[in-house]
Each structure stands twice: as C-alpha cells, then as structure tokens.
Amino acid sequence: MDKLIPIITQLSQGLVYTIGIFALTLLFAIPLGLLVAKGRMSKNKIISSIVRVYISIMRGTPLMLQLLIVYFVPYYVFKLNLRDLVIGSLDYRFIATIIGFSLNYAAYFGEIFRGGIQSMPQGQYEAAQVLGFTKTQTYFRIILPQVIKRVLPSVTNEVITLVKDTSLAQVLSLTEMFTAAKKLASAQVSVLPFIVAGIFYYIMNGIIEIIMTRIEKKMNYYK
C-alpha cells in the first residue's frame, strides 16, 4: 500500500497532462476535421489535392515523428526559438504536442466525416433545397445531425485510440502518464507503475465507451 500511494499521486500528475492532450486534441481536431472533409470534397482541384496530400502524410507517417517535426522544425528550419516559449502555464513542448496531435487526428476525423457526408442520400439535399433552406441551414439542420449519427461508431474508435496515443507525447519528454510511469518504474525497479498506468488508461476508455454508448442510444430514436 505504501508503494501504491506515491505511484497513484505521481501518475495522477501525469494524468492531468494526458487528459489535457486528450481533451484539447478533440477540441481542435473535430472542427478541423470538418474543414478537412470539406476541403477534401472541394470542387477546387488545388484545394482538394492539397488536402489529399495532407491526409496521406498524416496517415502515412508515425505520429511520433510528426510530433518531433512540429517541435523541432520552427527552430531548425526557421531559426525560431520557440522552445522557451510559454503561453500562460503551457510551454512549447505541450503546445507542440497539441498541434501535432490535432493535425494528425484532424486527418483521421476528416476522412470519417467525409465518409459520413458522402453517404448521405442526395434526396436529403434536394428535399431541403426545394423547401427553400439555405446551404448553411441544410448543412447544420439536415445533413450534419444525420452525419453525426452515422459516424459515431468510427469516432468512438478514434477517441479510444487517442487515449492510448497520448503516451506518444513522451517523445517530447512531456511528463504525461506513461512517461511518469516509466520514470517511477525505473526508480522503484518495479512493474507496478505500469500496471497502475494501464488501469488508468483502461478506466478512461471505459468511461468513454459508456458515454459514447449512451449518445449512440440517444440517437437511436430514428433509423
């Protein structure tokens, strides 16, 4: 027990970062994903090609590498020393992590949203159009609510993956939960910190699953 308590307190400090990365990534990546989907479906060939390349890079290279690039590129390429930059209580390590995660997840979300939007029958747009709804009204009142229902299961998958992916932030020496566990494990010469960290991740995802299942159920009032 006297071993467990310091583990839990230290991991909890890491957990704050983990949750921070998780929440902020969702906050930025979801709206950004909608933009990515829109860009990917754009009639403008230049825009859609750029977005296509962006998606393929984000999905085709390791997130860990992308994090390193976001962190180091300003300095090595642009001679911009952001490493001492602090905004509020957030340093550039953390900011770079959020940028990297958001850019990466926006690509995945974008493809999920695109699939959802493209699966909508043309008739929904046409019915809205003849009733006089504007494009914006059609999107927000008719299309998006149905798309959300359609993409929810895939989004849940991504969200669960994101919880586990937060551990990749260790590459920028950010003391999120996984890094904290690693440090503790080597200090205590024990696997216990890893086990506790595993339980933490598992609980987080359990909560997410419960919440998402509830939302899915709530949307089951129509087919």
Partner 1 sequence: MSVLSMKNIHKSFGELNVLKGINLEVNKGEVVAVIGPSGGGKSTLLRCATTLETIDKGEITIGGDTLAKDSDKGAVYCDRKTLQEIRGKFGLVFQNFNLFPHFSVRRNITESLIHVQKKSREEANQICDALLEKMGLSDKADSYPCNLSGGQQQRVSIARALATNPDIIFFDEPTSALDPELTAGVLKVIRELAEEHMTMVIVTHEMSFARDVADRIVFMDGGVIVEQGPAKELINNPKSERTKEFLAGY
Q: Which residue has the tokens 């798309």?
A: 147
Count interface residues toward partner 1 (CB under 8 A).
Answer: 20
The site map against partner 1 for 126-165 (x = CB under 8 A) is: xxxxxxxx---x---xx--xx--x----------------
In Å, how far from its chain's centre is CA 68? 17
The site map against partner 1 for 188-217 (x = CB under 8 A) is: ------------------------------
What DSSP letter does each residue of 117-164 carry, written as one string? Answer: HHTS-HHHHHHHHHTT--HHHIIIIIIHHHHHHHHHHHHHHHHHHHHH
- Taking the complex as a whole, the smallest distance from the CB of residue 202 to partner 1 amounts, in Å, to 34
Nearer to partner 1 among residue 72 and residue 133 (C-beta): 133
Q: How many Cβ atoms are within 10 Å of 175's Cβ, its own excluded?
A: 18
117 binds partner 1 (CB under 8 A): no
Q: At what angle do helices 144-165 and 4-40 cross, to 10 degrees?
A: 140
- Taking the complex as a whole, the smallest distance from the CB of residue 211 to partner 1 amounts, in Å, to 21
- 75 with 81: CB under 8 angstroms? yes
Instruction: Single out the residue of 2, 78, 84, 121 in contact with partner 1 (rule: CB under 8 A).
Output: 121
Nearer to partner 1 among residue 62 and residue 145 (C-beta): 145
Distance separating alpha carbons of residues 13 and 10, to the nearest angstrom = 5
Q: Which residue has the tokens 């008739």?
A: 123
Q: Which residues of the chain form contacts with partner 1 (CB under 8 A)?
A: 121, 123-124, 126-133, 137, 141-142, 145-146, 149, 221-223
